[in-house]
Amino acid sequence: MRKLMRKGSERKANLPPGTPVFMGESHEAATKIDVIDYDLGHVERVEVTSIEACRPYKDSPTVTWFNVSGLENVELINRIGQALGLHPLVIEDVVSTRQRPKAEIYDEVVYVVVKMLTWDVEAGEINNEQVSLILGKGFVISFQERPGDVFEPLRGRIDTSKGRVRQMGADYLFYALIDSIVDGYFTILEKAGDAIDALEEKLTAGEDEDALKEIRDTRRDMIFLRKSVWPLREAVATLYRGESDLIGTDVQPYLRDVYDHTFQVMDTVESFRDVVAGMQDTYLSNVSNRMNEVMKTLTIIATIFIPLTFIAGIYGMNFEVMPELKWPFGYLMVWIVMVGVALGLLVYFRRKKWL
């Protein structure tokens, strides 16, 4: 990610404000525009093949959701933004996919950057993607880095007219998109909680060969979650304070509910961070205890062999006159003394509970 940030910064250097430059990971996905146009009595879903075809939907009295996936074609994204009347600074932030979650109020639109998180089952890790949401008068635009999102349940509610989405305006759709992303955080936290529990069981069972790497990966994930959620709280707070006329008073309570959800996510993330930090301390303590056991064993062995080495050293001297050299039972007596010393030390260590 740091390499991507450096590359994007180099490309963007010395350019005037409002110049769109793609700053993200290449997914080689073609830009695609899906439109959902609806009101209480009808719903229409269509994939738009030309930019000019977007204008009638934007100016219609119904609620329109433009979902744009694939941001690498900067020229096309710029043309889409111009066709939908977006500010150049908004288009610049849309293609700069390493933005911090934020909310910005413009004269004619409300712009929000959110991190959409999904769980990769095969890799067992978190995938993140920047989603830019734009609320205008009667329409909502969502920009995604690649196809695939967490909005399918919302699309289903629009198709079947379940809930309030077909009865409300574009501001409620705007809220529903943010709420879908925040709800996805709880799924990520559930998966992360399961992974933390499994890792804790491994540590308890002493199966911690790769535990330090897993702990570090989990801690990095928690830090990333915190960076994704912490600024989102302030962004949602900006929305429900009523700083834009595009968000009605009837939608503000729903945005406050999302704000409460972000608090719940943050509390859980902080709890997980504390648990992971405790697991790291436990791992280091286990490593230290094992090292102490090894050192104790080596110390006991060395202590036993020190007097034996002393005895062997004495009788290994090359003096011609030594009283025990001519004694017929000298060899046996040395063995008896050495074995007796070793057994005596073992008994002493046992009584001291060092063994």
By the 8 A CB rule, do 129 and 116 touch? yes
Please tell me the predicted confidence (pLDDT) of residue 3.
44
Q: Cα 35 from chain centroid?
A: 31
Please tell me the predicted confidence (pLDDT) of residue 5.
43
User: 25: which residues sit within 8 A by CB, 6+ positions away?
Assistant: 4, 97, 145
Is the predicted pLDDT of residue 4 greater than 50, yes or no? Answer: no
Please tell me the predicted confidence (pLDDT) of residue 28.
65
Average pLDDT in the chain: 84
What b/e string do you get for 77-113 counting C-beta neighbours within 10 Å, with b at 16 or more?
bbebbeebebbeebbbbbbbbebebebbebeebbbbb
Q: Cα 343 from chain centroid?
A: 58
- Of 23 and 117, the one with more pLDDT: 117
Least confident of 118-127, 145-154, 286-295, 339-348: 118-127
| Rounded mean pLDDT, 239-256 | 88
- Per-residue model confidence as pLDDT tens digits over 205-245: 766 667 777 888 888 888 888 888 888 888 898 888 877 88
Please tell me the predicted confidence (pLDDT) of residue 1.
44
- Per-residue model confidence as pLDDT tens digits over 289-345: 888 888 988 898 899 999 999 988 888 888 877 887 778 888 888 899 999 999 998
- Of 174 and 327, the one with more pLDDT: 174
* Distance separating alpha carbons of residues 309 and 306, to the nearest angstrom: 5
* Distance separating alpha carbons of residues 85 and 105, to the nearest angstrom: 15
pTM of the model: 0.77
Coil vs helix vs strand at 54: helix
| Token pair listed for 146 | 């690649």
* Distance separating alpha carbons of residues 151 and 155, to the nearest angstrom: 6
By the 8 A CB rule, do 72 and 28 touch? yes
DSSP 49: -
- Per-residue model confidence as pLDDT tens digits over 258-273: 999 998 998 988 888 8
| Rounded mean pLDDT, 171-196 | 90
| Token pair listed for 202 | 């491994």
| Rounded mean pLDDT, 109-131 | 85
| Token pair listed for 32 | 């695609």
The correct answer on CATH 3.30.460.20 for the domain covering 2-286 is yes
Angle of CA points 284, 286, 289, to nearest 5°: 110
Domain residue ranges in the chain: 2-286, 315-351
Is the predicted pLDDT of residue 253 greater than 80, yes or no? Answer: yes
Is the predicted pLDDT of residue 126 greater than 50, yes or no? Answer: yes
* Distance separating alpha carbons of residues 347 and 343, to the nearest angstrom: 6
- Per-residue model confidence as pLDDT tens digits over 81-99: 888 888 888 898 888 888 8
Please tell me the predicted confidence (pLDDT) of residue 158.
92
Q: Cα 90 from chain centroid?
A: 26
By the 8 A CB rule, do 150 and 126 touch? no
- Per-residue model confidence as pLDDT tens digits over 153-167: 999 999 988 888 998
